[in-house]
Every structure is written in structure tokens, then in C-alpha cells.
Amino acid sequence: MCTHTPTCPPAESPDREAAHVVAAHPEQGWSLLCNGVLVFEDTGELLPDGRVVAPHRPVAALLA
């Protein structure tokens, strides 16, 4: 799906969040990355194969 040079990391990669945003909907709290990953405002993710990645916000962010 990615046409960038260099290509964005695939959805299975640990650095998948580094992919380019192709659709942003901040009013709804999510963005679609070019690798097919949906990233949510709470740092959760939905991968293209349907797997869910639980929110992983750093603890320091919760204390601020």
C-alpha cells in the first residue's frame, strides 16, 4: 500500500507507527497510516489483519 521512498514500515513491524498518515480524523480520535494501521488517540491500534494493540501510553504522560 505504501508508495513512499523509502517505504514505510509494514504493519507487522515494531515501528509501524512511523508510517505516513493518509487519513486523519482528530475529531473522531483516529488516523489511518499508509501501512493499513488505524492509530487511535489513546495510543491503541487496529492492525489490518484485525488484531488489536492495546493502548501503550507512557506512564509519565498519565502523571502530567
pTM value is 0.82
Residue 63, pLDDT score: 58
Domain ranges of the chain: 16-63
Residue 64, pLDDT score: 54
Question: Residue for cell digits 508510517?
Answer: 19
Residue 4, pLDDT score: 79
Residue 1, pLDDT score: 63
What does each C-alpha distance from 23 to 32, 40, 61 come to in angstroms?
A: 5, 12, 25
> What digits encode the pLDDT tens for the residues 5-52?
888 999 999 999 999 999 999 999 999 999 999 999 999 999 999 999
